[in-house]
Amino acid sequence: MTSNATQQKFGFKFGRNGAHAARTMMLAELTELFRGRKAEASTAQYQEDIELFNVLHKPTEKARKLTWRHLVDLYTMDKNVVLFRAFRRLWESDASARALLTCQIALARDPLLRLSQEKVLSLVLGQLLLREEMEQAFEEQFPDRYSPATLKSLAQNVNGTWTDAGYLQGRSKKRRTEPEIRPVNVAFALFMGYLQGATGNRLFNTEWTKLLGCRQERLLELARQASHSGLLNFKHSSEVVEVTFPDHLTKEEEAWLHE
C-alpha cells in the first residue's frame, strides 16, 4: 500500500471535508466543458472557458468562479495530476462509461462521498433509500458536526451523485439499481488500485473494483476487453494475473510508487 502522502501526489484526497457539502459531482458541467476541449487541454484553458467565456451559462461572475472552485476541488482539472489525466483520457474512450467514471474519480477526491459509499452498496437491488437514512449515516460518522439543514443538503448531494452514476433511481424516492459497467470503468478501477500499491490478482480485490459490483470472472473479462482496446496490458494464465499500464506514468511518477 502506498502512503497517503504518495497517493496525494497522484491526486487522491483525504480528510473530513469535500465538495459534496455544496454540490453533486457536477456531471452536466463536466460534459459541457469537455465537449469544447481536447483531453490535452490545460488548467488555464478550462478556467478561461468557465470564467471568461461562460460556456456553462452561469448568471454571475461569482457563480462562475464558484463553479470553477468546486470543479478543481473535485477533479483538480490539471492534466499534470495523474488521476485527472487518466480520467480525462478514458472519458474520450467511451461515452457510455462517463457517468460512472466521473463517480469513480469523485470518490477518490471527496471524503464525504466516500463516507456514503458503504450505505449505498449495502442496499439490495430495488431497496428504497430515504434521504433521512443517508442523513443518519453521516450523523453516525460525525455526531453533532452538521446542522439539520447541512445534513439534508449533504444527503441530497451524495444521493444525486449516486443517481447520476446509476446506483440509485428516482427523484424523491430513490431505489437501488445496478449501473452498467464498461471496460473503461474496470480499467480506471484497476489503475486506481495500482496507484495505491496493488499488483497482480490483488488489483481485482480493491475498494475500486468492489465498487463495480462484478463477479471476478466478469471483471477479468472486462479487463481483457479493456486490453483489446489499448487501455491497459492484461495477461491471464491459470491463477496468475498480470496488469500493466504503459504510458500512464512518467518516470518520476513511477518512482513515487516505490517511495
User: Over the stretch 180-225, which tens digit does the pLDDT of each residue have?
Assistant: 999 999 999 999 999 999 999 999 999 999 999 999 999 999 999 9
Encode pLDDT of 148-181 as tens digits: 999 999 999 999 999 999 999 998 899 999 999 9
CA 180 – CA 185 distance, rounded (Å)? 9
CA 96 – CA 120 distance, rounded (Å)? 22
Note the pTM of the prediction, 2 decimals.
0.97
Edge-first strand order for the sheet with 168-169 is: 128-129, 174-176, 168-169
User: Buried b vs exposed e over 50-79: b needs ≥16 C-beta within 10 Å?
Assistant: bbeeebbebeeeeebeebbebbbbbbbbbb
Supply the pLDDT for residue 239. 84
Domain ranges in the chain are 13-96, 111-176, 183-257
At the topology level, CATH places domain 111-176 in: Arc Repressor Mutant, subunit A (1.10.10)
User: Dihedral, CA atoms, 180, 182, 188, 193, nearest 10 degrees?
Assistant: 70
254 close to 6: Cβ distance less than 8 angstroms: no
